[in-house]
Amino acid sequence: MSRRGTAVAAVVVTLLLAWLVLYPIIVVSAEAANGPPWGDFLARRGEWAALWASIWISLASVVLAAGIGIPLAFLFEWFDFPGRKTLGAIIALPVVLPPLVGVIAFLFLYGESGFVARTIQALFGLEQAPWRLQGPLAILLVHAYSMYVYFYLFTRAGLARLDVSMLEAAEALGADRRRTLWRVVVPLLRPSLVGAAMLTFMTALGSFSAPYIFGGGFRVMTTQIVATKLNGDLPLAMVETVVLALVAVVALVILRHTEGDDILVALGKGIAPRPRPIRSVGVRRLTTVAGWGLAVLLLLPHLTLGLVSLVPYGAWTTEILPPVINLDNYRRLFSEPERLRPLLNSLWMATASTAAAVVLALVAGWLVVRRRVVLRRVIEGLLVLPWALPGTVFAIALAIAFSTHAPLELRFVLVGTAVILPLAYLVRGLPLTGRGLLAAFRQLDPSLEEAAASLGAGRARTLLFLLHHAGALH
């Protein structure tokens, strides 16, 4: 492609990303600035309480997730014991549960009428459930269960990239294990830990399912925005959306600043430390039993969902375990079109949005890394922006921006059509696909592209080969 064609492509991609990602936020901010809702927001204690609740819940979620995920990462990456690889994969399973599904699983397992509460109630002859899974502690419990995986995966990846020669050098200089950990390992893990903290904080800040189901009278900004919108006060909901977006951006800037500008670069053997075998037979057995016990505990919500799906409607009331188990629910799902339609809709919407996100990220990655266009930093920023803002913010922004027919303002009525949800999924999926493909492009040696071209491969085949070589298609 010529230089002029590349410049035109860069402008088109930038404008398209700006329309998808930035324009809805600008529309909401502009409409929120006109009118009295800002005064209403500042004058109401409930708004400030919800905002503060969102901030401290998110911070506490980071602390709890780090407290669980980091020790697990060290355990499974640095020590060798029976079943380590299998357990290491099982530990990461909570990340595959969608937020709402994970919350429902928690409700069936640990709620007032869940398996655990009913079992304790029956064992001790209690007249009422032993607890109420409600309020901020319940929200933190769900967040800790679902979000520790970020610290676990990021820390394990960071430990796998450590250079064993640096640890050997610290040991040769007389540093004990504790000093080596804090002076060598932690600085090298700093980018991974900050990345996990950012992802956890943003996820917790935008969490809606857990506060909505377990919050009770406890409100955070996500539930506050939805409640305000349902009450018909759309101007105030727009102000709340803008405020939550500002908090998210400020938090992201602060967390990014904690990474620092100093980057520790190590030139060594490039060999990661091998897992250390546990010598003591007793400790080895205890670690194995504790690991499998933890795996079962983490799998309980998944198993609970599977069991509940086999219980016919109305067959399970006050018993500890369901009295009837069969496949009636699955037969109804696949035999009644009105029940199967939501599943099929979810599948085609997810497929369409994923395909669009991959194509858009591919073009953006090619322009940013291969062509290094002038607008490359703008394109990268637009790709990352949806990751920095809570999902509720984008949902409200898209609903407001695309509920009005104003073609000259690039606003169309998409709410209520089959387009709005795939569009929302596309926007939310851009950061993951964009970051992954940009990283893949940067890992590729330009000589590979030249070699493929010299062997007669077309552009499409060359691109597929390069992405497969970088692992971006997995």
> What was the pLDDT predicted at 289?
85
- Which tokens sit at 312? 């016919």
Least confident of 59-73, 158-172, 341-355: 158-172
Q: What sign for the dihedral angle of Cα 364, 421, 330, 335?
A: negative
DSSP bridge pairs for 406 = 411
- Please determine, for residue 271, whether its predicted confidence score (pLDDT) is greater than 70: no
Least confident of 117-131, 273-287, 438-452: 438-452
Q: How far from the centroid of its chain's Cα atoms is residue 277's Cα?
A: 33
**Considering just the CA atoms, what is the radius of gyration of the chain in Å?**
25
Least confident of 41-45, 172-176, 335-339, 349-353: 172-176
DSSP bridge pairs for 411 = 406
> What was the pLDDT predicted at 318?
74
Helix, strand, coil in percent for the chain, rounding step 5: 75, 0, 25
- Which tokens sit at 353? 């949005």
Question: C-alpha dihedral over 397, 400, 406, 411, to 10 degrees?
Answer: 30
Can you tell me whether residue 231 is helix, strand or coil? Answer: coil
Alpha helices in 369-417 (DSSP H): 376-388, 391-401
pLDDT band at 466 (very low <50, low <70, confident <90, very high): low
pLDDT band at 259 (very low <50, low <70, confident <90, very high): low
Can you tell me whether residue 271 is helix, strand or coil? Answer: coil
- Please determine, for residue 59, whether its predicted confidence score (pLDDT) is greater than 90: yes
- Which tokens sit at 200? 């956890």
Q: How far apart are CA 223 and CA 226, in angstroms?
A: 5
Is-contact 366 379, C-beta < 8 A? Answer: no
- Which tokens sit at 218? 């406890």
Task: Give the DSSP per-residue string, 246-275.
Answer: HHHHHHHHHHHHHT-S------S---PPPP
Can you tell me whether residue 64 is helix, strand or coil? Answer: helix
Q: How far apart are CA 228 and CA 282, in angstroms?
A: 58
- Which tokens sit at 64? 């709890």
pLDDT in tens, 139-176: 999 999 889 999 998 888 878 777 666 666 766 666 66
The CA–CA distances, whole Å, from 461 to 220, 380, 382, 453 equal 49, 25, 28, 10
Q: How far apart are CA 361 and CA 426, in angstroms?
A: 11
- Please determine, for residue 270, whether its predicted confidence score (pLDDT) is greater than 60: no
Mean of pLDDT over the chain: 83
